[in-house]
Structure 1
Amino acid sequence: MRRNLHLAFATLAAGTLLLGGLATATAQAAPAKAESLYAPSALVLGVARGEDPQTATVERAVTLSCAPTAGGTHPAPAAACKELAEVQGEFSELTAGPSNRTCTRQWDPIVVTAHGVWQGKAVRFSTTYGNACEMAGSMDDNAVFAF
């Protein structure tokens, strides 16, 4: 009888510990909190020599992050993020202006690219210019591709 009482007590204690452990493990399994209230905006911007963005030789590239604060390897991230916000991330709006420069017709193509995420939406932009002068004229000294 005494042995059965000890066995029953041991079983009850083990069950209590097991249930207590499960309750603790369940209580700790809370859903993960969102890390940010901002939609991500992180881009890789590049300038390459060649006609095709897939095969052009990259001459320079920078990273640009705009949310929650401007940063990255871009030399002027705050100005670049401000310009992108003004055009709602439409890179074609940054390069659409007519050039006031007089450029030669030399064919030495330059490709500018932007890949990544702008305010939570995927971005994949590229455009090709006949030469560096045409690119600089089209950019109209914007901060986004000034690196």
Structure 2
Amino acid sequence: MRFIARSLGAVAAAAALTALATAGGLTGTAGAAPAGTASLYSPSALVLSVTAGEDPAEGTVLRAVTLSCAPTPGGTHPDPQAACAELLATGAGLDTITAQGSEAPCTREWDPVTVTADGVWQGRRLAYSHTFGNRCTHANGSGSVFSF
């Protein structure tokens, strides 16, 4: 008896789907966007991190934040507007940002801190890493992008 009820249920479901398809209820696209459509904004989303040590793969991650710049600045970065503005001004030239330096006096101890940026900037893959000699040089020479 259960077999008959299951068979009738399956037949009824198939008949309902057929009726919907012929009546125009199912179009076959499942709500997908038309082929060839483009977003108004190129994706710009990064994961930024500060790691103790020279090798970000081996070191201890001290802090990490997300930064999204399109369509509006956001993420967990403490100042996404300033960080996105700095990235836009330099064309995401992170070497320019990390080479800024400052006149702040820092000791010459070697206690490396590595900053990384991984993600997509204006539709292109971005992977960046830079090692500072210590936390003082990082704090005084990393611009607003890596200040978190």
TM-score, normalised on structure 1? 0.77
Pair member with larger Rg: 1
- Describe how 1:82-101 pairs up with structure 2 within 5 A: 82-101=85-104
1:119 maps to 2:122: yes
Name the structure 2 match of 1:143.
144
1:43 corresponds to 2:11:
no
Pick aligned residue for 1:75 from 69, 73, 78: 78
Q: Which 4+ stretches in 1 moved above 6 angstroms? A: none
CA deviation after TM superposition for structure 1 residue 24, in Å: 5.6
Q: One-letter code of the match for 1:124? A: A
Judge conservation of contact 2:139–2:147 (CA < 8 Å) in 1. Answer: no
| Identity across the alignment (%) | 51
Mean Cα displacement is larger for which, 98-107 or 73-82?
A: 98-107
C-alpha displacement of 1:124: 0.4
For residues 10-29 of structure 1, the aligned pairs below 5 Å read 21=22, 25-26=26-27, 29=29
1:29-67 per-position Cα deviation (integer Å, ceiling 9, x unaligned): 376154731000000001110111111100001000000
Structure 1 residues without counterparts, runs of 5 or longer: 1-16
Partner Cα distance (2:65, 2:101) in 1 = 25
Stretches of structure 2 lacking an aligned partner (at least 5 in a row): 1-17
- TM-score for the superposition, normalised by structure 2: 0.76
SS at match of 2:57: coil
SS in 1 for 2:83: helix
